[in-house]
Structure 1
Amino acid sequence: MRTLAAIVLICTATAPQAHPHIFIDTGLTAIVDDAGALQAVKVTWAYDAFYSLLITEDYGLDPDGNAVLTPDEEAQLRGFDMQWIEGFDGDLVARLDGGSLELSRPRDVTLVMREGRLVTTHVRDVAGTPAMAGHILSMKPFDPTYYTSYDVTMNVRVQGLEGCAIVRNLPDLDAGMQQLQGALTKLGRDQDAIEEGFPEVGEAFATEVEITCADR
Structure 2
Amino acid sequence: MRLLISLLTCCLPIPALAHPHVFIDTGLEFIVDDAGNLTHVRVTWAYDELYSLFELEDRKLDQDGDGLLSDSEQAFLAGFDAQWLEGYNGDLVLWSEGRIVPLSGPAEPTATTENGRIVSTHLRAVEGAPVAASALSAKAFDETYYTAYEVTRPVTVTGNISCNIEKIVPDIDGQLAQMRAFLLTLDADYDLEENDIPLVGEDFATEIRVSCPST
Q: Between Structure 1 and Structure 2, how many residues are aligned?
A: 213
Do 2:36 and 2:214's aligned partners in 1 also have CA atoms closer than 8 Å?
no
Do 1:52 and 1:117's aligned partners in 2 also have CA atoms closer than 8 Å?
yes
For 1:6 and 1:50, the matched residues in 2 are separated by: 17
| Aligned partner of residue 57 in structure 2, secondary structure | helix
For 1:100 and 1:17, the matched residues in 2 are separated by: 28
> What does residue 84 of structure 2 align with?
84
Whether 1:19 aligns to 2:19 is yes
> What does residue 130 of structure 2 align with?
129
For 2:187 and 2:157, the matched residues in 1 are separated by: 43
Per the TM alignment, residue 87 of structure 1 is displaced from its structure 2 partner at its CA by 1.1
Whether 1:144 aligns to 2:168 is no
> What does residue 177 of structure 1 align with?
176
Per the TM alignment, residue 11 of structure 1 is displaced from its structure 2 partner at its CA by 3.3
Unaligned runs of 5+ in 1: none
Closer, same or farther in 2 for the Cα pair 1:9/1:76, shift >3 Å?
Answer: farther
> What does residue 209 of structure 1 align with?
208
For 2:160 and 2:148, the matched residues in 1 are separated by: 30
Do 1:24 and 1:46's aligned partners in 2 also have CA atoms closer than 8 Å?
yes
Deviates more, 1:20-29 or 1:56-65: 56-65
Provide Cα deviations, 1:113-160, integer angstroms capped at 9, x if missing partner: 11111001111101223222xx21001110000111100111111100
Do 1:26 and 1:43's aligned partners in 2 also have CA atoms closer than 8 Å?
yes
Do 1:16 and 1:190's aligned partners in 2 also have CA atoms closer than 8 Å?
no
Do 1:15 and 1:184's aligned partners in 2 also have CA atoms closer than 8 Å?
no
For 1:104 and 1:69, the matched residues in 2 are separated by: 29
For 1:198 and 1:50, the matched residues in 2 are separated by: 26
| Aligned partner of residue 153 in structure 1, secondary structure | coil
Q: Which amino acid aligns with 1:209?
A: I
Q: Which amino acid aligns with 1:89?
A: N
TM-score, with length taken from structure 2: 0.87
Q: Which amino acid aligns with 1:162?
A: I
> What does residue 50 of structure 2 align with?
50
Per the TM alignment, residue 80 of structure 1 is displaced from its structure 2 partner at its CA by 1.1
Do 1:140 and 1:208's aligned partners in 2 also have CA atoms closer than 8 Å?
yes
> What does residue 109 of structure 2 align with?
109
For 1:2 and 1:163, the matched residues in 2 are separated by: 35
Per the TM alignment, residue 29 of structure 1 is displaced from its structure 2 partner at its CA by 0.9
For 1:149 and 1:94, the matched residues in 2 are separated by: 18
Provide Cα deviations, 1:22-78, integer angstroms capped at 9, x if missing partner: 110111111011222110111111111111011112222233433332222222221
Do 2:5 and 2:20's aligned partners in 1 also have CA atoms closer than 8 Å?
yes
Do 2:8 and 2:17's aligned partners in 1 also have CA atoms closer than 8 Å?
no
| Aligned partner of residue 72 in structure 1, secondary structure | helix
| Aligned partner of residue 63 in structure 1, secondary structure | coil
Q: Which amino acid aligns with 1:38?
A: L
TM-score, with length taken from structure 1: 0.87
Q: Which amino acid aligns with 2:131?
A: P
Q: Which amino acid aligns with 2:93?
A: V
| Aligned partner of residue 66 in structure 1, secondary structure | coil
How large is the RMSD of aligned CA atoms in angstroms?
A: 2.5
Q: Which amino acid aligns with 2:45?
A: W
Q: Which amino acid aligns with 2:130?
A: T
Q: Which amino acid aligns with 2:98?
A: G
> What does residue 163 of structure 1 align with?
162
Closer, same or farther in 2 for the Cα pair 1:92/1:118, shift >3 Å?
Answer: same
